Amino acid sequence: MPRAFITGITGQDGQHLAEFLHGKGYEVFGMVKGQNNPKFTAMRDEFPYVEPVPGDLADLPSLVKAMELTQPDEVYNLGAISFVALSFNQAELTANITGLGVLRMLEAVRMVGGAQNNPIRYYQASSSEMFGKVREIPQNERTPFHPRSPYGCAKVFGHDITVNYRESYDLYACSGILFNHEGPRRGLEFVTRKVTNAAARIKLGLQEELVLGNLDFKRDWGYAGDYVKAMWLMLQQDEPDDYVVATGETHSGEELVSLAFSEVGIDDWQRYVRQDQKFFRPAEVDLLIGDPSKAQTKLGWTREVDFPGLIKMMVANDLRIESAKR
Ligand code: NAP
């Protein structure tokens, strides 16, 4: 039975990946931070097969211990301070966890290593936010980075140090440069889920308005369930490499809102939406659109859920959750 170790198990991608790897017959270990993590307690019933392992990306000894204890074949480093807005307020924490945390994971992997004929394979969760003020459209694996947030800067460090450890120590280490991916498990702080949840609540009479920041931005949005498959595929290749994972389509903030509201039968969404400067980013990422050709050609990866399908799925989930609260 192959063994997988996942950091960020309580996050959106950690849950999708655990489900996917369990389906493939893996033994799944999930790193849980804190002494009584309420998010992990909440997911226990849905994921009884995930073996919790204590640890924190700020604490190298805990990561080494986790590697020694679990002896994984594959490590997926998904843990991070991942919310861009928070990274502006807590830049040092973001640099420590999202940036230096990667170095600590790589060190733990290098120190423990895995069996000699079967070294640990490492996946790093890089991000399209590294492209920031984009230098070309669409963005691919060779597009230069220009991050526009402390989060983006920390991810650039994490990405570069992963490449450096691969080249310096011959680690099987891959970076997936993933564009935005969403789904019913997305945290409520993220704009897609904030919008789908508000559309559901407004429809049910539980909320009167939705307050957002800038709506002019454009993103390449996919479904998280499709993207975790690409992570796994990267670790099944003969040679480690970096891949952009994206849909190749871009949609505006306005399209997102309009689609979510029309899913609940509201066509005049402008009546319910107000913009507030406090939700504007100090520096915005205007146009993200990825070129997934390499992942499609070399990994054979394709996405299954399109943008309208994704929003439909998220709104249906929020309607179900919010109706149960009434
Ligand atoms: P998420 O839902 O925000 O989950 C983040 C995870 O990181 C949580 O499990 C959190 O644990 C954990 N974490 C935070 N601080 C930690 C620490 N000090 N030590 C260990 N774990 C810690 O993020 P996601 O959407 O699943 O994304 C997964 C990864 O992909 C992240 O690295 C993210 O930056 C990256 N990424 C995401 C997207 C996207 O669109 N979703 C796109 C590109 C890249 P707690 O719950 O205990 O706080």
pLDDT digits (tens, 9 = 90+) for 50-89: 999 999 999 999 999 999 999 999 999 999 999 999 999 9
Local confidence band at 115 (pLDDT 50, 70, 90 cut-offs)? low
The preferred substitution site among 17, 78, 175 for testing ligand 1, maximizing ligand atoms within 8 Å of CB, is: 78
Tokens at 229, concatenated: 């498959």
Ligand 1 nearest atom to the CA of residue 79, by list position: 7
Helix axes 101-112, 60-70, angle to 10 degrees: 40
Q: Radius of gyration of the chain from Cα atoms?
A: 19
Under 8 Å between Cβ of 169 and 149? no
Under 8 Å between Cβ of 145 and 131? yes
Instruction: Sketch out the chain's domains with CATH numbers.
Output: 3-181+221-245 (3.40.50.720), 187-219+250-288+305-325 (3.90.25.10)
Instruction: Give the closest residue to 230 by CA, choosing from 156, 303, 308.
Output: 303
- Whether residue 219 is predicted with pLDDT greater than 90 in this model: the reply is yes
Question: Which spans in the chain are helix H?
Answer: 12-23, 38-43, 60-70, 84-89, 91-94, 101-112, 150-169, 191-203, 224-234, 253-263, 293-294, 307-325
How close is the Cα of 168 to the center of ligand 1, in Å? Answer: 27
**Protein residue with least CA distance to atom 33, ligand 1:** 82
Confirm or reject: Cβ of 6 under 6 Å from ligand 1.
Answer: no
Q: Give me the pLDDT at residue 284, please.
A: 74
- Whether residue 171 is predicted with pLDDT greater than 90 in this model: the reply is yes
Reading phi first (left if > 0) and then psi (alpha if -120 to 50, else beta), residue 132 is in left
The overall average pLDDT reported for the chain is 96
The arithmetic mean of pLDDT across residues 311-318, rounded, is 98
Q: Give me the pLDDT at residue 311, please.
A: 98
Q: Give me the pLDDT at residue 326, please.
A: 79
Largest CA distance in the chain: 63
pTM greater than 0.75 (yes/no) = yes
The preferred substitution site among 82, 84, 174 for testing ligand 1, maximizing ligand atoms within 8 Å of CB, is: 82
SS3 216: coil
The arithmetic mean of pLDDT across residues 156-166, rounded, is 98
Considering the candidates 26, 76, 123, 129, report the single residue annotated as catalytic: 129
Under 8 Å between Cβ of 195 and 157? no
Would you give the DSSP letter of residue 290? B
Q: Give me the pLDDT at residue 228, please.
A: 98
Percent of the chain, pLDDT > 70?
Answer: 99
- Whether residue 99 is predicted with pLDDT greater than 70 in this model: the reply is yes
237-286 tens-digit pLDDT: 999 999 999 999 999 999 999 999 999 999 999 999 999 888 887 877 77
Confirm or reject: Cβ of 203 under 6 Å from ligand 1.
Answer: no
Q: Give me the pLDDT at residue 217, please.
A: 87
**Protein residue with least CA distance to atom 2, ligand 1:** 11
Q: Give me the pLDDT at residue 146, please.
A: 97
181-212 tens-digit pLDDT: 999 999 999 999 999 999 999 999 999 999 99
Confirm or reject: Cβ of 77 under 6 Å from ligand 1.
Answer: no
Note if 322 is an active site residue.
Answer: no
Note if 151 is an active site residue.
Answer: yes
Ligand 1 nearest atom to the CA of residue 185, by list position: 2
22-43 tens-digit pLDDT: 999 999 999 999 999 999 999 9
Tokens at 292, concatenated: 């997934």
- Whether residue 4 is predicted with pLDDT greater than 80 in this model: the reply is yes
